[in-house]
Amino acid sequence: MAGDGAGAERLVEPAGAPEPLESLAHEALSRPVRGGNAFEETLARLLQLIRLGLVGPGEALAPERELAARFEVSRDTVREAIRSLAEAGYLESRRGRYGGTFVCDPLPVAGGDPAPPVTPAELDDILTLRAVLEVGAARAAAARTLTAAERESLGARLHELAAADPADYRRLDSRLHLTIAELSGSPSLVSLVAENRMSVNRLLDRIPLLAPNIAHSDQQHEQIVWAVLIGDADRAATAMAEHLEGSQSLLRAFLS
């Protein structure tokens, strides 16, 4: 066990700047827009990329023409969605050689009327789905033979979360969990995890961020990542299940 602990500690050493996150999560949220609400769907996809931390504060969106091609909508639709998110304080445009559309830093703080209470049935539904998806994702990721780039990416996500300020913790936590889902190799699973994570984050935003819980979560994240890297699928699934049980306990305590 001592050897396992030392290995886990090494996982949070600086791994260098992570590679651009053109990942399965990006692909899942960049699939073609379907239906007649092109503007609303495009805006929702961009907001998901931002809120899930796939494009973080200070980072640039892909060019309009590329987003239009991915979503299979017009550039005017993309431009209007970007303009609306800029007016809401999520995006900003920069001119010049290194210009483009960038995520605002800091992001706006959610306001408005208090969110309606979540029912026990709704809470059970969200958390049960999360457990099924994320425990399965951890098992599948550990069962795959990861490339050097995938291993480095996972280590980088763990390191940036361990070093995160409280204001960035939940965004980077989402990013780590989505990276584990990406390593499953299943775009469909990534899409489901991303959608569920949006629901989970809305619940987490209603409860305080507690320092002891952060410390405990960091330890659990190390064990999950270590199990994935050594290819122990059962251990990865067990570690993820234990981690999610802790979050479930807090959410039920505050929201039930």
Q: What Å distances lie between residue 5 and 138, 173, 176, 215, 237, CA to CA?
A: 19, 21, 20, 15, 18
- My answer on whether 199 and 220 are in the same domain is yes
pLDDT at 183: 96
Residues 166, 234, single domain; the answer is yes
Q: What are phi and psi of 155, to 5 degrees?
A: -65, -40
The parent domain of residue 43 ranges over 24-103
pLDDT tens profile 228-237? 999 999 999 9
Co-location of 246 and 190 in the same domain: yes
Q: Among the listed ranges 21-25, 61-65, 211-215, which one has the minimum average pLDDT value?
A: 21-25
Does the structure show a pLDDT above 80 at 110? no
Confidence of residue 43 (pLDDT cuts 50, 70, 90): confident
* Mean residue pLDDT across the chain: 85
Q: Are 235 and 156 contained in the same domain?
A: yes
Give the tens place of pLDDT for each residue, 142-151: 999 999 999 9
Q: Are residues 192 and 211 in the same domain?
A: yes
Strands 91-94 and 100-103: antiparallel
Q: Is the model's pLDDT at 216 over the cut of 90?
A: no
Number of domains composing the chain: 2
86 shares a domain with 192: no
Exposure class string for 96-111: b at 16+ Cβ within 10 A, else e = eeeeebbbbeebeeee
Instruction: Output the pLDDT for position 185.
Output: 94
| Residue that wins the pLDDT comparison between 10 and 23 | 23
CATH number at residue 209: 1.20.120.530
